[in-house]
A and B are shown apart, each in its own frame.
Chain A
Amino acid sequence: KSALTFETYARCSTTKGRASILTLPHGPVNTPVFMPVGTQGTLKGMTPQQVKDMNCQIMLNNTYHLGLKPGQEILDEAGGSHAFQKWNGNLLTDSGGFQMVSLLKLAEITEEGVQFASPHDGSLMMLTPEHSMSLQNSIGADIMMQLDDVISSLTTGPRVEEAMWRSVRWLDRCIASHKRQDDQNLFAIIQGGLDPELRKKCVDEMVKRNTPGYAVGGLSGGEEKDQFWRIVSLCTDLLPKNKPIYCMGVGYAEDLVVCTALGVDMFDCVFPTRTARFGNALTMKGTVALKSGKHSSNFGPIEEGCDCSTCKNYTRSYIQLLVTTKDTVGCHLVSIHNVAFQLRLMREMQEAIKRDEFPAWIKQFFAGYFGDQSKYPVWAVNALQSVGVDLTA
């Protein structure tokens, strides 16, 4: 059962890039899309109105964090996360399992679920697929993720296959316990590590379950980038063409460009807002460290031509002052720009695909972002080569 529609209106005639409209219970989302992460029911230092004003159509909340604070009871009382944070756009939640494994000591996976030590008193507890669904149903996000058996992308051997099959079984349990099929979409997560055969089997099994969308999981964990893109590309080849594909935890500009060319529709990452806290601004010419004293005499905006409210109104000189003195306003100003940058990057790709000028746009992006060709990451050159874009030409 599906509470979304996905309509591809333009395909790049060279790469696998596509531009689509994903319509969710809280409105349409233009894809390829970057989803900023509002971990605890708020996007760092921005009001929901400001987020809406930058044309952000979907953001993330983290199930683990919302489960801890404010907790399921209050989410139920509030009528879910949209109502609680007064956000009328779309929301996506993860299953909570990944955060548990990465944040808690002693998290361990059994057939029943993720066993973890309570951050309150250390007593042993269990997050099951059923429990994750119940919590995500309370949060009420437009897209929920299945609980999967998370392993490091560097893991090898039989554990990889075990995790893949367990994720399939857990998907069945998630589907069976999902109580709001009419207004919440459950996405499956493709596992299988770096092994193409396992990935194929996993896609086969999960496609049989016919979920409204699919995520490519188990990547961005320190594997070689050359392995990363090959798995992504394999999955987009195998997955059904009429459903959205989400690549989890991807947010660097060059990764977004390459994965879009490989046919991915959705991305999320904490990087843009996290790096903003350290005074780093993202631009089409690379990252700008605003703490550096050299900006204090620069009365121009962070990025010329950026239409975010920070760039329209504030100088680098003033932001440099606020960033070095650690005023919260300085942090907010850079976060606003960085989120706006990610959204603009995605919008530019949508438009380039629509005009069928995506390969030329990619070349222009790499030239602007890295400058000299010798600085282009080799994996990105290889990945783009595989879809017919030769950056070295």
Chain B
Amino acid sequence: MTSALSFTLQQLTDAPSASGIVRRGTLQFSKKAKTIQTPACLTYTVRGSVPHLVAENVKLLPVQLLQVTLEQFVEEKEPMSFKYPHGIHKYLNLELDHLVFCDMRDPMKQEAVTFNTDKYLSVSTHGGVRQITPEMWAQAMKAYNPDMCALMADIVTDNDAKLKRIKRSVDRSLRWLDDILPKAKEIGIPVFAPVVGHTSEEERARSAVSTAERDVDGFTVNVIGLGLGNEATLKLAKASLRNLPKNKPRIVYGFGTPEGILDAVASGADLFDGSYAYKVTEQGRAMIFKFGEISADNTARDKPKTVNLWDPSMSHSFEVLDSTCGCYACNASHTKAYIHHLLNAHEMLGPILLMSHNVYQLDNFMASIRKSIDDNRFESDLTRFMEYYNHVEEGDGMRNHQDEIDVESLGTPLKKKRTLLL
């Protein structure tokens, strides 16, 4: 029997890149005759929907593989999605050729939860903390029938966790893995095993090595919100990645910026959560950066990576966000001035247009990374990217925003200037 999921690497360690570990692969889903080229982003969803977008909007985007987060469906004590007889794709109205990856926790913001025990895992929901047992997990996967899923793991959410707690989380995750793996095999869904180890490089290595001894299809590596700097975080991710077998795909959580994604690609990651597109949208910004298309003789520095649509200067800008973009907003010629107006008027179409654009652009960014690797210029493109763009963290564009109103256009001031106190 051929596996439902196979992974082929086009470039291995003999690549001429300096780091030697940049990977370019293909994930093949045999049941649906679909392939995903890596490195790639999983499209971020909230309760199974791409934020702000209905199916008709999503259809116009290059979305192929979505990440569905289980903790967002267990608000109800008895989640109805567990009882829907036709699987999660149909429940969420995803086109048949959309692939779904199912994991437990939100890859964008890992909220701290009380504690996990040997019997259950705690997740946070609107309705408070809920406990998920391996049995519930299996029930959900059976009902959902996703194209791939991650197993449950005891992920530590306390930044100052002691080594004893970290060791226990590695052991407990391995125990759960052995417990659930047969159930997962029975359901027949390709599984990714979480590699844990929190802030300990040694424990990360131990978790990676031991997990890799099990018969799983891939791995998830999580460095969300460890409260460390970029460098220390990257070091921890590397401690996991370098101890994993080369022939299996790795999903990495916690690199939620273009720079982070590039660092992680350079460290051997294959798949990322796509929450960056959503984060940028919520800040009223549109991605405008490119990778691998900046010519070497261009000496520009410190260019912005995004444009802030809340900015009052946008109100007279009758151009599209990016004339080379193929998203709905740019294709339908919606201007920056209009999107600015929609944000300023607190209209829901604003985030719809921005999200469409940003999801498209994030996909485009990943495609340029793949092209760059294919063309053997990833290292130099990365250097150029870091020189060309500004890397300060961009804040919420709405901060200090005051609604712009043009009172003059409603009428003329009365000759006798009388001011009333309202």
> Separation in Å of the B242 CB from the closest CB of chain A?
39
Minimum CB distance partner of A43 in chain B: B349
Q: Mark A281-322, 1 if CB is under 8 A from B, else 0.
A: 000000000000000110100000000011001110110011
Assess the B417–A313 pair: CB atoms within 8 A.
no
A105 within 8 A of B: yes
Assess the A119–B93 pair: CB atoms within 8 A.
no
Cross-chain contact of B92 among A64, A84, A86, A318 (Cβ < 8 A): A318
Chain A residues within an 8 Å CB radius of B334: 86
CA distance A37 to B84 in the complex (A): 36
Assess the B51–A128 pair: CB atoms within 8 A.
no
Assess the B49–A322 pair: CB atoms within 8 A.
yes
Minimum CB distance partner of B406 in chain A: A71
How many inter-chain contacts with C-beta < 8 Å in the A-B complex? 197
Cross-chain contact of B407 among A50, A106, A115, A125 (Cβ < 8 A): A125
B9-17, B52-60, B150-158 - interface stretch = B52-60
Contact residues of A between 64 and 107, Cβ < 8 Å to B = 64-65, 67-74, 77-78, 84-86, 96, 100, 105-106
A24-32, A222-230, A323-331, A344-352 - interface stretch = A323-331
Supposing A116-B411, A122-B422 touch, asked if A69 and B328 sit within 8 A by C-beta, the answer is: no
CA distance A86 to B113 in the complex (A): 46
Minimum CB distance partner of B342 in chain A: A42
Assess the A69–B352 pair: CB atoms within 8 A.
no
CA distance A121 to B347 in the complex (A): 24
Supposing A296-B76, A297-B83 touch, asked if A122 and B348 sit within 8 A by C-beta, the answer is: no
Supposing A48-B332, A64-B410, A297-B80 touch, asked if A77 and B54 sit within 8 A by C-beta, the answer is: no
CA distance A108 to B75 in the complex (A): 51
CA distance A199 to B156 in the complex (A): 75
CA distance A322 to B51 in the complex (A): 11
Cross-chain contact of A74 among B85, B316, B353, B422 (Cβ < 8 A): B316
B133 within 8 A of A: no
Q: Mark A333-360, 1 if CB is under 8 A from B, else 0.
A: 1001000000000000000000000000
Chain A residues within an 8 Å CB radius of B83: 297
Chain B residues within an 8 Å CB radius of A77: 316, 318, 337
A127 within 8 A of B: yes
Assess the B410–A68 pair: CB atoms within 8 A.
yes
Chain B residues within an 8 Å CB radius of A329: 49, 51-54
Assess the A318–B91 pair: CB atoms within 8 A.
yes
> Separation in Å of the B61 CB from the closest CB of chain A?
13
B160 within 8 A of A: no
Supposing A70-B406, A71-B406, A125-B410 touch, asked if A325 and B47 sit within 8 A by C-beta, the answer is: yes
A49 within 8 A of B: yes
A135 within 8 A of B: yes
Assess the B352–A45 pair: CB atoms within 8 A.
yes
Chain B residues within an 8 Å CB radius of A121: 407, 419
> Separation in Å of the A383 CB from the closest CB of chain B?
37
Supposing A77-B318, A78-B337 touch, asked if A40 and B347 sit within 8 A by C-beta, the answer is: yes
Assess the B337–A313 pair: CB atoms within 8 A.
no
Cross-chain contact of B84 among A42, A49, A317, A322 (Cβ < 8 A): A317
Assess the A70–B93 pair: CB atoms within 8 A.
no
CA distance A70 to B341 in the complex (A): 6
B404 within 8 A of A: yes
Residue among A45, A65, A119 with the most chain B CB within 10 A? A45
Supposing A68-B410, A70-B315 touch, asked if A120 and B405 sit within 8 A by C-beta, the answer is: yes
Q: Mark A252-276, 1 if CB is under 8 A from B, else 0.
A: 0000000000000000000000000
Assess the B351–A122 pair: CB atoms within 8 A.
no
Q: Mark A222-258, 1 if CB is under 8 A from B, else 0.
A: 0000000000000000000000000000000000000
B421 within 8 A of A: yes
Assess the B56–A69 pair: CB atoms within 8 A.
no
A131 within 8 A of B: yes
CA distance A105 to B49 in the complex (A): 41
Supposing A47-B352, A123-B419 touch, asked if A131 and B411 sit within 8 A by C-beta, the answer is: yes
Q: Mark A152-176, 1 if CB is under 8 A from B, else 0.
A: 0000000000000000000000000
> Separation in Å of the A135 CB from the closest CB of chain B?
6
CA distance A50 to B56 in the complex (A): 8
B46 within 8 A of A: yes
Assess the A127–B411 pair: CB atoms within 8 A.
yes
> Separation in Å of the A172 CB from the closest CB of chain B?
19
> Separation in Å of the A355 CB from the closest CB of chain B?
32
B345 within 8 A of A: yes
Residue among B53, B84, B352, B410 with the most chain A CB within 10 A? B410
> Separation in Å of the A374 CB from the closest CB of chain B?
36
Supposing A47-B352, A84-B338, A106-B420 touch, asked if A69 and B46 sit within 8 A by C-beta, the answer is: no
Q: Mark B363-388, 1 if CB is under 8 A from A, else 0.
A: 00000000000000000000000000
Assess the A328–B405 pair: CB atoms within 8 A.
no
B413 within 8 A of A: yes
CA distance A114 to B31 in the complex (A): 68
> Separation in Å of the B175 CB from the closest CB of chain A?
33
Contact residues of B between 52 and 107, Cβ < 8 Å to A = 52-57, 73, 75-76, 80-81, 83-85, 91-93
Assess the B47–A125 pair: CB atoms within 8 A.
no
Residue among B85, B349, B404 with the most chain A CB within 10 A? B349
Contact residues of B between 326 and 357, Cβ < 8 Å to A = 328, 332-335, 337-338, 341-342, 344-345, 347-349, 351-353
Chain A residues within an 8 Å CB radius of B73: 321
Minimum CB distance partner of B60 in chain A: A49
Assess the B332–A49 pair: CB atoms within 8 A.
yes
CA distance A291 to B55 in the complex (A): 21
Q: Mark B305-321, 1 if CB is under 8 A from A, else 0.
A: 00000000001101000
Chain A residues within an 8 Å CB radius of B404: 69-71
Chain B residues within an 8 Å CB radius of A378: none
B295 within 8 A of A: no
B412 within 8 A of A: yes
| 6 A–B pairs (Cβ distance < 8 Å), ordered by A | A69-B344, A117-B422, A321-B76, A328-B351, A329-B49, A332-B54
- Which residues of A pack against B, CB within 8 Å? 40-42, 44-50, 53, 64-65, 67-74, 77-78, 84-86, 96, 100, 105-106, 113-128, 131, 135, 296-297, 299, 309-310, 313-315, 317-318, 321-322, 325, 327-329, 331-333, 336
Given contacts A42-B349, A70-B315, A317-B84, 5 further A-B contacts (CB under 8 A): A41-B338, A42-B347, A47-B328, A124-B413, A325-B75
